Structure 1
Amino acid sequence: MKTRSPNGVPTEVYLSFVASLFGNRKTLFTGMIVHVVTYAAVYAKSGDAFYIYLTAVFACVCLFRIYWFGRFDRTDKNTLGRSDIAEWELRYLYGGVATTAILGIGSGYSIYFLRDSFCELACISVTLASMVSVVGRNYGSSKAVNLQTLSACVPIMIGFLLVGDPFMAVLAVLLVPFLLTTRMMANGVREFLYNYVIASREVSLIADRFDTALNNMPHGLFMVDGNNRIQVANRKACELLHLGNQASLKDCDLDVVLRYGSRQSFVDGSLPSLIQRQLTQLTDGSLSRTLVEFSDNLFLEFTASRRPDGVVVLIFEDVTPRIRAERRILHMVRYDPLTGLPNREFFVESVQDWFRRHDGGGKVGFLILDVDEFKHVNDMKGHVTGDRLLCRVADELQRIVGDATIVGRLMGDQFVLFFPDEGGVDLDARIRETHEAICGFYEVDGTTFRVSFSAGYVILGSDEFRQEEWQIKVDLALFEAKSRAKGSCVAFEQEMDARYVERQKLKVDLGEAVEQGGLHVVYQPMYKPNGTRIECCEALVRWVHPERGSIPPNVFIQIAEEMGIVSEITRFVLQQACADCASWPGDIGVSVNLSVQDLRNENILDVVSDALGEAGLPASRLHLEVTEGSLLAEMGVARSILTHLRSRGVTIAIDDFGTGFSSLSYLDNLPVDVIKIDRSFVRNISEEARGFRLLRGIVHLSRELDLRIVVEGVETEEQLMLLNKYQCADLIQGYVFSVPLPSKSLLGLMEALASKSAAMLRQKKMV
């Protein structure tokens, strides 16, 4: 067997081998006593003083060894290097080899000199017995084994050989196998123990690494046996479940441990049955993964792995942040971020869930509330104030209807409510009471707003509920409410459905009319107040339906805005009006209305340029009219577009002036040349002195701002005379002079006026 060199083993293993030399001192001291007694007996039998000297030397060696054994015990082993360990091995060799040498010399001396059977037997027996102990005590050092066996056996072999007896010589030779066997046995023990130490070291290292990894992993871990008793628990498991010392959990029942943890911290009372059932399903293999909610502040996700021997490994992690994030995301998906009410999708889901949980029978109601004139709140006070007003409305709605009614926010300033069947409650009366209660005064940011709501609702039987139908019906009812009067509450009626179908058909027909040129343009002239001359004509689009006849402009223009094709109509009117105007005499201009959709982007600039270019019409002869409503809707973009058009020479007019909220506030900020005073100011000017004074005030302000004034809707001679008397208009537009006419008829009217003016001029010259 190959002897392993100390330099070939790790330092810590070398230290353990050397430390074994200094161990097991009871046998060492026993041997010392036996050696002293034996030599005393030999001296008593032989009377040879040599053994007294050997005993004295032996005692000195013993004291030497005891001294260094004590020093070794007091040495800090962790500070020893390989050279230090070698020095300690050498110190041991001094004592050990000296001891065996004394024994060997005593034995050889007895053989050669004493020739006494007792003395020979006593000395050789003690020496060979000590040789046997070499294997058990000194296996850790090959040097110790080799030197001690040689120092003990060589003197005996010499003694046998010196006697001169052939049989004694044979005994000397037979000691050689004894030496080799002893050496091989010691080496075998050392090699075995070396492998054991190395294996133990590796196991210890693996165990330390496993323990480090186990206790530093971000997941909790339980390993339970087939009886549900914990065999392994890491530090994270104890932290997550507040279980204290992990060592105390060994062989404890998992359910008992969890109940203890729940009582100590995160769950009041015993562990809920749901949690216990979930964990039981994990350990018995029914589930491989489950989420356990211990409290609102602790969610643990468990996974289980079952081994063939019945051991189950439970790994769990704290997923509370993830669950909270998922809940926040779910809340964001389901709820309106401004008001906190369910959004449209979640409102619909909640209603469907209610129907799944309730049998048919009874009545349910749906109500949509639309804040009247909410846009003006944003325009006057800003969107922040508008948002806060919506939040106040949402809070008030929830307070009024309570928890039984589902409240949601559809979009913008619209709210939707679902009134479930409450057994005998008059839903119609309750819905109207809710509408009446929500209307009123709201104070936001120090400002009090009087808020009214247009409302549409539908009541239907639970067995009649259809998701698509109720939304259409309640929207139709809301549309009807808005068309009647602000603040009204209208129930769905079957006739509304018919009107809706008719309106949808009208949309299809209007789309075809726009695509196929089914619209035409007429012109209403704007006269000088004395009626002698036409200066401009307003282009008015008309649609004659092949089946329903003439459709009023306020009807089909509104439909076109809903369809998003009003800009196509504007393009058509601009092209036709510019082409017709180019054929009119003199510098008569044409005026075209722009819609709010036309002012939302700068495409209108190209449309105007193309129309003027194709007709060859100077930009100064084109007037563009915009309403106050379109300006308020797109103030920033509108200002930019109108400024650009005006810089090209196009005249800009404000149509229906005086019907909006803040007409006077933007006259000085927008590129405006003309204002057209709405017909509502003219209708009763001969009867209402106050209204006429208001009209004259507007005229005075406009003249101070160098704006031209067109008065619309003048229908009687009396109105015309009053306007002329106080010089309230630069131009007059109305039936008092002319109804809207086609371009050809308008040309005849222009020629007649020109002839009349020429005749009057000739008559003046003759006079």
Structure 2
Amino acid sequence: MPSAVSTSFADEVRLSFVASLYNKRGTLAAGMVAHLVTTLAIYLRIDDPFYLYAGVALFATWALRTLDMLAFDRLEKSAFTLADTLHWEKRYVAGSLVAAFLLGTVCGHALVMAQDAFAVLAAISVTIATMISVVGRNFGSKLNVDMIILAACLPMMAGFMMARDPFMMVLAVLLLPLFLTTRSLANGVRDFLFNSVTAERKTSELAERFDTALNNMSHGLFMLDGEGRIEVANRKAREFFSVDRNTDLTGRALKAALRLGTRNGVIAKENFAQISEHLDSLVSGRDDRALVRFDKNSWLEFSARYRGEKGVVLIFEDVSERIQSEKRILHMARYDNLTNLPNRSWFKEVVGLKIASAQPDQNMALAVLDLDDFKHVNDSMGHVNGDKLLCAIANRLGSLSRQKFVVSRFGGDEFVLFLPNVGDVEDLHATMDHLIDTLRGTYIIDGHKLFVSLSGGVVMSKAADLQLEEMHIQADLALYEAKRRDKNRWTLFEASMDQRYTERQSMKAALREAIRTHSMDLFYQPMFNPQGTRIVGAEALSRWIHPELGPVSPAVYIPLAEEMGIISELTCCVIERAVQDARNWPDDLQVSVNLSAHDLNDRAIVSVIADALDRSNLAPGRLQLEITESGLMNDLKTAREILTELRSMGMSIAIDDFGTGYSSLSYLDMLPLNKVKIDRSFVRDLTKVPKKLKLLRGVVHLARELGLEVVVEGVETEDQLVMISDNNCADIIQGYIFGTPMPYGAFIELANKLSQNPCGLTVVGQSGQTRNSGS
């Protein structure tokens, strides 16, 4: 089934053929004149009026056909449909049929009636000539060709037959091949022209499509002949080189386009020679691809397609954006996106190159710098200002380096420096002192003045012995040592630091294992009423016996657990063990457990405590939870929600070490507290400094006004106890005067002893005198 496009095209060709019939009026007029002259000559020759009438009929037919042609000329052909074309084709065929039939009749009449050789010769000659004109004029319509031949042939052949002359009859038969040949020639001409028009149309369409595709390519194209001259240049190529559309590049050398590009500012003049060299390599076949830089920010990528001796096709595209993107991606892969300093991987690569090019005995150093208390900046001023501070420090580092050393930011507030050429230790000291002095100081961040100090760790090594990863570990150890000593300084690595680091790592592993296996011990420090006649409870205190080092102070392993992020696991162990032990105590005794800052930031602690109470079947009211001000600093809202939920479950809440922080008074109002544990600093020198007693009495009065019980910690002497009791400053006493932290068994023994001695415990004061605590 022909497509709509091909059908439309065939209709257009048919219309053009029909229009050609109506347009060739000159030959039609010439034929009319020949027909009139012939009929008039025959009439004058044989004096037969039939020919006069025939001439008049031929003239009238011509006149009507001419009027019809003029009417066709006035029509708008663009609106023609196939039906319109067929209609006008049939009208033309009708006129041709009448004219041809008249001529055939003239021939038949001459053969049958005239019996005159001139009349026969003249009539047949003009009819045959008309038949031949079918090939040159009337081929446009197959129907027209057939009708003219039939209308002219049949009367002529009938005339030959009616002459009843065998020779005439032979001529009648011989006319048939002539007429058929004429018909074939006319149809052949029409088919040939149709095919030619079709081929031309397709060629034109292909040329138009090729031109459209060529000029709408996103790539530029130059087609060069065998001598390197331009045959074709598409629109994109002209745009790339800023060549005006009116400038004809055909036949010109490729360098002419380069010169135009240079003149129009597309190509940097200093790059002209290099660009010409690249293009010559492509045209000559030495290269088939080339990346050519036209100016600072413009790059074109060329590829060559060779056509043998016919030349070459150069296709190129603007890859400037791609090159810039690749540069940005490479920069992102190599540099820290905040400070624009080399990141870890690029730092290692650059340092590796410097190590490879160094002399074996060349001294090199690696330094790790860390901002002191940077977390406080983020917490108090926000991470945005923290980032601005890091950028400001990075800028100072960048201005200091001047290619003398390689600077990198490894993340957070950690900066790493590699010094590729260090003279000796004194030279290193001078460099690091200058570096630290330059970096420390006041920074203006978002209108705020910040004083910044840094700590650093440095390690030095010969190039031949240098192992970068190992140096980084050693520099970190030196940094840790600098922070441990007193921040705001730098420390050079020593071998003993490695040993301490190994020991510390070993201790971390042992602590993790002790917590995992629940092998931590619990000691209990009893809490008494002020008279010392009754134990009201005990504070559970974890203790760790290292398998090799023996007892480890809580001041050592608790910060270690916080550093390792396992302080919550330690809390869980203490809670589980404490409630299990407390269920075997007398029902009136409470056990007190400390919660860390991490515990108060995670609601999971509520489930941990609830599950432990369920497993031990201990009443919630017998569990007291102690919190410190430092544990409330990070997220007071979450801590208050957690404590409120625990309080609602029946547990009592005590604030520990009260009075050591600046915001303790606000916590008394904001938190769901039951007790206040006054810090030992209020008791120390209580008997020597009168102001201490006034301060203690004021705090106690405030707490009791808020309905809170008062626990005084750190009571160690009888004089302290007497003064506290005489001034009614405590509801509960906790201190060495009544008992130090003791194992579970010792605590049970003390509780039993007290129950057997209703008068209370005998305590020893600093004076050495003894007295009954119940007296």
TM-score, length basis structure 1: 0.79
Distance in 2 between the 1:373 and 1:65 partners? Answer: 110
Distance 1:467 1:87, change over 3 A: same
* 1:393-419 Cα shifts (integer Å, max 9, x gaps): 32343134327565555444x231324
Paired residues of 1:542 and 1:553 also in contact (CA < 8 A): yes
Deviation of 1:349 (Å) = 2.5
SS of the counterpart of 1:668?
helix
CA distance in 2, matches of 1:696, 1:428: 55
Aligned CA distance change for structure 1 residues 423 and 559 (closer, same or farther; 3 Å): closer
Deviates more, 1:607-616 or 1:638-647: 607-616
Aligned to 2:767: none
Percent identity, aligned pairs only?
43
Q: Which residue of 2 aligns with 1:352?
A: 349
Aligned to 2:577: 576
How far apart are residue 134 of structure 1 and its match? 0.8
Residue matched to 1:144: 144
Letter in 2 for 1:355: G
RMSD, matched Cα: 5.0
Q: Distance in 2 between matches of 1:463 and 1:8?
A: 85
Give the deviation of 1:499 after TM superposition: 0.8
Alpha-carbon shift at residue 59 of structure 1 (Å): 5.5
Partner Cα separation in structure 2 for residue 8 and residue 534 of structure 1: 112
- In the other structure, the counterpart of 2:396 is 399
Aligned mates of 2:602, 2:443 — CA distance in 1: 35
Distance 1:569 1:172, change over 3 A: closer
Q: 1:117 to 1:399 in 2, by over 3 A?
A: farther
Q: Is the 8 A contact 1:397 1:438 kept in 2?
A: no
Distance 1:279 1:693 in 2: 99
Q: Distance in 1 between matches of 2:624 and 2:614?
A: 15
Distance in 2 between the 1:664 and 1:292 partners? 74
Within 1, Cα distance between the matches of 2:276 and 2:422?
38
d(CA) in 2 for partners of 1:627, 1:536: 19
The 5 Å alignment of 1:549-628 reads 549-585=550-586, 587-628=588-629
Task: Indicate whether 1:417 and 2:427 are aligned.
Answer: no
Give the stretch that moved more between structures: 561-570 or 37-46: 37-46
CA drift of 1:79 comes to 0.9
Instruction: Say if 1:558 and 1:259 are closer, same or farther in 2 by CA, change over 3 A.
Output: farther
Matches within 5 A, 1:68-467: 68-97=68-97, 99-101=99-101, 103-104=103-104, 120-157=120-157, 160-161=160-161, 165-198=165-198, 219-220=218-219, 222=221, 224=223, 227=226, 268=268, 277=278, 339-341=338-340, 346-356=343-353, 359-361=357-359, 362=362, 365-380=365-380, 385-402=382-399, 404=403, 408-412=408-412, 414-421=413-420, 426-444=427-445, 447-467=448-468
Q: Contact (CA 8 Å) 2:17, 2:140: kept in 1 or not?
A: yes
The structural deviation recorded for 1:645 is: 2.0
CA 1:665–1:416: 2 relative to 1, 3 Å: farther
Aligned-partner Cα distance in 2 for 1:579–1:757:
28
- How far apart, CA to CA, are the structure 1 residues paired with 2:510 and 2:486? 28
Q: 1:730 to 1:427 in 2, by over 3 A?
A: farther
1:702-721 paired onto structure 2 within 5 Å: 702-715=703-716
CA separation of 1:454 and 1:734: change in aligned 2, threshold 3 A: farther
CA distance in 1, matches of 2:557, 2:601: 21
**Structure 2: which amino acid aligns with 1:416?**
F
Deviates more, 1:712-721 or 1:570-579: 712-721
How far apart in 2 are the matches of 1:155 and 1:460? 124
**What is the CA–CA distance in structure 2 between the aligned matches of 1:282 and 1:677, rounded to whole Å?**
93
Q: CA deviation at 1:718?
A: 6.2
In the aligned structure 2, how far is the partner of 1:664 from the partner of 1:612? 31
Q: Is the 8 A contact 2:335 2:346 kept in 1?
A: no
Code of the aligned partner of 1:571:
C
For 1:542, what is the secondary structure of its paired residue?
A: strand
Q: Give the AA of the match of 1:180.
A: L
Number of the residue aligned with 1:653: 654
Q: Is the 8 A contact 2:442 2:451 kept in 1?
A: yes
* 1:121-149 per-position Cα deviation (integer Å, ceiling 9, x unaligned): 45543432332221122222123212323
Indicate conservation of the 8 Å contact 2:341/2:394, yes or no: no
Contact 1:233 1:246 in 2 (8 A): no
Where does structure 1 lack aligned partners over 5 or more consecutive residues?
1-6
Letter in 2 for 1:655: D
Q: Which residue of structure 1 aligns with residue 497 of structure 2?
A: 496
- TM-fit CA distance, 1:624: 1.9
Q: Is the 8 A contact 1:234 1:246 kept in 2?
A: no
Q: Does the CA contact (< 8 Å) of 1:366 and 1:416 recur in 2?
A: no
Name the structure 2 match of 1:21. Answer: 21
Q: Is the 8 Å Cα contact of residues 457 and 478 (structure 1) preserved in structure 2?
A: yes
Q: 1:301 to 1:533 in 2, by over 3 A?
A: farther
**Secondary structure of 1:506's partner?**
helix
**Does the Cα contact within 8 Å between 1:612 and 1:619 map onto a contact in 2?**
yes
Partner of 1:740: 741
Residues 512-546 of structure 1 deviation map (CA, whole Å, 9 limit, x = unaligned): 33345543222233344555554332222222223
Q: 1:272 to 1:628 in 2, by over 3 A?
A: farther
Taking structure 2 as the reference length, the TM-score comes to 0.78
Note the residue ranges of structure 2 that are not aligned, 5 or more in a row: 1-6, 763-770
Residue aligned with 1:395, SS: helix
Q: Kindly provide the amino acid, as one letter, of the partner of residue 346 in structure 2.
A: E
SS in 1 for 2:597: coil
